[in-house]
């Protein structure tokens, strides 16, 4: 009989073979192969024809043996390099099989314990099932008894409810009658309130109309008073002119002297001046309001003398300077404005500002102030005025020019275009450049009269679930973008209404 080779099997499953624990040692293979060729090489050449024949044959076969030796060397080197890797692979595979064997032992142990637990828990579960079934039956019986008792009580309560329903009908009828009476009383009260509200509205309307009439009467009275004062002044001038003409020996023709058109032109010019005074009173604000706006400029003229207020108007800033102890003079082309200043005891002259500046000595002014004036001037006139002012101011004196902020859309459309005497709007950068180019130093722009928050566009509130600042929610991004645009519009539309360019003469 042929003998079968015995193969070791796994001690757990009995099927997988075990790997050999040792491998063939091939360390000396390379040295043995390399030395076999060296024994073929002749060490010495014999004498005679045999030596010659052996040398001839060796020269013919030596290349073949050399190539075979090179091939054998490469092959043996490759085998030697892979022996270590194969040995590591075999060891790793053996370790893996050992770990799998241990895990399989644990799994068998777990299955045995699980089987024991199932055998122990089954009787307990069967006992509890019987107990639960008994409890369910008892609960169902109790519920049935309670249901019967509730049915009996429900029938008793239904009988009582039917008895009470008859009483409720009577009470509802009485309540309906009471509600009807209350409704009638409320209707009467509502009618009384409506009548009272109408009476209050009528009284309020009458009061508003009365106040409006009073304001109109006051305005008309002011107009009449201004016209009366203007007419008195003009009649006084005409009388003085007439008296001077009668005593004069001039050869002026009487027809020219008493020409009604000449007198009419004078009156028309005076009326135009008076109308602009009333325009200032109505739109720019009262004297007290303008004083409050101009108080902020007083510190720039502390300790100064001979301050000139160009376009002094009704004299609000002259009045403030006088209270501050600063000597000042005003100049304006509006005759009625000058008369108003003189009536208040202020020093003011009627005339052209540039002509006045050219007629005074150089370095004779301690300061120059012009509020809401430069927008009334032509560009060439303004440049000449700035150049001349720089010559007439003393070293260290201040120049302050206040005007409407043309960069503010609301100020431009609200204030600038309303006055028909305005010639040209001036951007803050433009006026600052002109003042600097005229020789003034430390020229800066200060903005005044900000719009109240109620007049500006209102941003949206940030949602509660806005998320972190670095990754806001889509709704929060939309709100942030909207608010950013609102801020841009507010800066353009509701910038400060006025600005002042302030420079110093060095």
Strands 307-310 and 365-371: parallel
Distances (CA, A) of 135 to 121, 128, 281: 21, 10, 100
The pLDDT of 253-266, averaged and rounded, is: 40
Whether 239 shows a pLDDT value over 70: the answer reads: no
pLDDT of 448 > 50? The answer is yes
Alpha helices (H) in 248-315, listed in sequence order: 254-257, 260-279, 287-294
What share of the chain in percent tops pLDDT 70? 76
Dihedral angle over CA of 36, 41, 42, 43, nearest 10: -80
Mean pLDDT, range 233-254, rounded to an integer: 53
List 328's β-bridge partners, or say none.
Answer: 307
What is the pLDDT confidence band of residue 257, given thresholds at 50, 70 and 90? very low
Looking at residue 56, its pLDDT comes to 81
Kindly report the pTM of this predicted structure: 0.48
- The pLDDT-based confidence of 1 (bands split at 50, 70, 90) is very low
Average pLDDT of the residues in 128-140:
80
Average pLDDT for 376-397: 94
Across the range 20-31, mean pLDDT stands at: 48
Q: Rounded to an integer, what distance in angstroms lies between the CA atom of residue 402 and that of residue 407?
A: 14
> For residue 249, what are the CA distances in angstroms to 124, 244, 246, 262, 320?
149, 10, 8, 21, 47
More confident residue, 267 or 138: 138
Statement: residue 472 has pLDDT above 50: yes
pLDDT, position 386: 95
Write down the domain spans for the chain: 276-504
Give the CATH number of domain 276-504; options: 3.40.50.300, 3.40.50.150, 3.30.750.24, 3.30.590.10. Answer: 3.40.50.150
Mean pLDDT of the chain: 78
């Amino acid at each position: 009989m042929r003998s079968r080779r015995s193969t070791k099997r796994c001690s757990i499953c009995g099927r997988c073979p075990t790997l050999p624990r040792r491998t063939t040692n091939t360390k000396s293979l390379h040295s043995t192969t390399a030395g076999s060729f060296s024994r073929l090489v002749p060490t010495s050449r014999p004498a005679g024809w045999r030596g010659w024949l052996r040398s001839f044959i060796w020269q013919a076969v030596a290349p073949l043996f050399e190539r075979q030796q090179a091939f054998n060397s490469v092959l043996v080197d490759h085998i030697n390099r892979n022996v270590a890797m194969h040995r590591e692979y075999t060891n790793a595979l053996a370790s893996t099989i050992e770990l799998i064997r241990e895990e399989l032992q644990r799994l068998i142990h777990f299955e045995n314990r699980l089987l024991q637990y199932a055998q122990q828990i089954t009787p307990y579960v069967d006992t509890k099932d019987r107990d639960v079934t008994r409890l369910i039956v008892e609960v169902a019986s109790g519920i049935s008894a309670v249901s019967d008792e509730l049915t009996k009580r429900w029938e008793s309560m239904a009988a009582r409810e039917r008895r009470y329903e008859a009483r409720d009908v009577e009470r509802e009828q009485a309540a309906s009658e009471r509600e009807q009476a209350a409704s009638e009383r409320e209707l009467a009260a509502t009618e009384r309130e409506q009548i009272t509200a109408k009476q209050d509205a009528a009284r309020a309307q009458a009061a508003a109309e009365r106040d409006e009439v009073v304001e109109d009467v006051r305005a008309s009275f002011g107009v009449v008073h201004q016209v009366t004062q203007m007419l008195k002044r003009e009649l006084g001038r005409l009388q003085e002119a007439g008296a001077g003409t009668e005593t004069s020996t001039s050869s002026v023709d009487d027809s020219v002297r008493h020409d009604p058109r000449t007198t009419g032109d004078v009156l028309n010019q005076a009326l135009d001046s008076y109308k602009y005074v009333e325009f200032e009173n109505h739109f720019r604000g009262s004297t007290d309001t303008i004083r409050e706006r101009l108080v902020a400029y007083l510190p720039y003229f502390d300790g100064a003398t001979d301050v000139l207020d160009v376009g002094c108007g009704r004299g609000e800033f002259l009045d403030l300077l006088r209270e501050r102890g600063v000597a000042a003079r005003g100049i304006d082309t509006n005759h009625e404005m000058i008369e108003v200043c003189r009536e208040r005891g202020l020093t003011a002259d009627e005339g052209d500002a540039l002509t006045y500046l050219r007629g005074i000595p150089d370095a004779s002014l301690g300061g120059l102030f012009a509020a809401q004036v430069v927008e009334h001037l032509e560009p060439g006139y303004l440049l000449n005025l700035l150049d001349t002012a720089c010559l007439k101011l003393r070293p260290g004196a201040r120049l302050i020019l206040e005007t409407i902020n043309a960069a503010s859309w609301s100020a431009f459309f609200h204030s600038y275009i309303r006055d028909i005497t305005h010639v040209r709007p001036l951007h803050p950068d433009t006026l600052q450049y002109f003042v600097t180019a005229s020789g003034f130093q430390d020229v800066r722009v200060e903005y005044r009269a900000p719009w109240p928050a109620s007049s500006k566009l209102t941003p949206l509130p940030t949602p509660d679930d806005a998320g972190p600042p670095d990754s806001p929610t889509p709704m929060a991004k939309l709100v942030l973008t909207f608010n950013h645009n609102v801020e841009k519009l507010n800066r353009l539309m509701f910038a400060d209404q006025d600005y002042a360019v302030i420079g110093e003469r060095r």
